[in-house]
């Protein structure tokens, strides 16, 4: 897992550097607050791997001079990137996103990552620095 995380983080930072992009990540404290699942062994393992990946990305990005923005992930998995409609009903299942207002459909992880990128751009106060699209890693 550590080897995989090293490779993922290295590729992300390389991609960001090549395209002169910034990276946006979910703020850690919020992730803790919203996890309601019982802490199974599997959860603990995934959670540990997720934290390690974040640390590696942040560390490598800083070393390479890539800006990293931490954003509040609230509602990122249930907000429509096309029309902005926010509802729990937009998530018919763990992996699917279907907007009840405009019909936009996509994989839920892509929707989550798109919303995190948008929040990162807002936090940066500019749309001149594009961001690498990061997949949201579930910890449940």
Which residues contact Zn ion (rule: CB under 5 A)?
80, 82-83, 85, 99, 101-102, 104
> Smallest distance from the beta carbon of 51 to Zn ion, in angstroms?
32
Nearer to Zn ion, 111 or 136 (CB): 111
Nearer to Zn ion, 28 or 106 (CB): 106
CA distance 87 to 112: 13
What is the DSSP code (8-state) at residue 88? Answer: G
CA distance 44 to 34: 15
> Smallest distance from the beta carbon of 48 to Zn ion, in angstroms?
35
Nearer to Zn ion, 70 or 97 (CB): 97
99 close to 1: Cβ distance less than 8 angstroms: no
> Smallest distance from the beta carbon of 63 to Zn ion, in angstroms?
39
Host H or E run for residue 20: none
């Amino acid at each position: 897992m550590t080897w995989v995380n090293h490779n993922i983080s290295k590729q992300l930072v390389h991609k960001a550097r090549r395209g002169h992009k910034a990276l946006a990540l979910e703020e850690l404290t919020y992730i803790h607050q919203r996890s309601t699942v019982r802490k199974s062994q599997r959860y603990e393992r995934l959670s540990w791997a997720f934290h390690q990946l974040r640390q590696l990305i942040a560390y490598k990005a800083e070393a390479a001079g890539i800006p990293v923005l931490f954003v509040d992930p609230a509602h990122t998995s249930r907000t429509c990137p096309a029309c902005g409609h926010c509802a729990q009903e937009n998530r018919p299942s763990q992996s699917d996103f279907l907007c009840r207002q405009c019909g936009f459909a996509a994989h839920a992880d892509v929707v989550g990552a798109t919303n995190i990128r948008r929040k990162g751009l807002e936090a940066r106060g500019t749309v001149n620095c594009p961001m690498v699209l990061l997949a949201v890693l579930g910890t449940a």
